[in-house]
Amino acid sequence: MANGKQQIMCSVDSCHYWESGNHCGADMIMVTADSMADPAPDTIDAPQASIMPATPAEHCMETCCKTFTLKGSGKERMDGVIKS
Ligand code: SF4
């Protein structure tokens, strides 16, 4: 991660970036509101995050990891994120 200190823990083991011990192995992830993630294509992800508009939410149920990519789906390179 950017500051070298963060650890992303994640239990979504069907994700391409998921690693043993419930670690996220992506070099960056994009957490956003469902209202943005739903309509946005898979090519819009963490590499574009700094120029994306803010997407406020009021509950954790309204947020998601947009970097999720189903393991073996063939879409692993669409988001520009690298697996460590
Ligand atoms: S990219 Fe998102 S869904 Fe996939 S392992 Fe990382 S945090 Fe979990």
Residue 39 has pLDDT above 80, yes or no: yes
For the chain, give the percent of residues with pLDDT over 90.
92
Q: How far is the CA of 81 from the centre of ligand 1 (A)?
A: 11
Q: Is 10 in the pocket of ligand 1 (CB under 6 A)?
A: yes
Instruction: Report pLDDT digits (tens) over 55-82.
Output: 999 999 999 999 999 999 999 999 999 9
Tell me how many degrees the CA angle 30-56-29 measures, rounded to the nearest 5.
Answer: 5
Looking at the 3D structure of the chain, how many domains does it have? Answer: 1
For the chain, give the percent of residues with pLDDT over 70.
95
pLDDT of residue 6: 85
Residue ranges of the alpha helices (H) in the chain? 34-37
| Model-wide pTM > 0.95 | no
37: containing domain: 1-84
Residue 45 has pLDDT above 60, yes or no: yes
- Distance CA(28)–CA(34), nearest Å, equals 18
User: Contact at 8 Å (CB) between 66 and 32?
Assistant: yes
Among residues 75, 83, 56, 66, the alpha carbon closest in space to that of 29 is found at: 66
Q: How far is the CA of 2 from the centre of ligand 1 (A)?
A: 16
